[in-house]
Amino acid sequence: MKLIIAIVHNDDSAIAAAALTAAGFFVTKLSTTGGFLMVGNTTLLIGTEDSEVAEAIKILKKHCTTRKQTNKPTATFGSGLQNFSIPEKVTVSGATVFVLSVDQMEKL
């Protein structure tokens, strides 16, 4: 059994979760905030059998797109209260995915 933790952009979260659910996966959505851009994203928790991990990742790749985003000049973790005068464009990944082994899972 595996636990897939997928951190996805808010704009992609609804369609990705719907596609995963339509394919038979059970998905839990959590609202989270990234430490780099300090913007909201969604963390999807997906419990599945080992043999279904590739299918779940395939669905995430299809529905979570890479995009350019402007990094506004604000204070962020690790940079203190510096004042950056020029916003910069950064590439934001479609999803960051972790796959963890699960010793036991029960639905109560």
9 inside domain: yes
80 inside domain: no
Residue found under tokens 């394919």: 23
Output the domain CATH number for residue 39.
Answer: 3.30.70.120
Question: Which range marks the domain in which residue 49 is found?
Answer: 2-67+95-101
90 inside domain: no
51 inside domain: yes
pLDDT tens per residue across span 11-56: 889 999 999 999 999 999 999 877 655 667 899 999 999 999 999 9
If 0-12 CB within 10 Å is exposed, 13-18 middle and 19+ buried, where does residue 95 land?
buried
The domain tally of the chain equals: 1
87 inside domain: no
Predicted structure pTM score: 0.76
DSSP letter string over 77-105? TTTTT----S-EEEEE-SEEEEEEE-S--
33 inside domain: yes
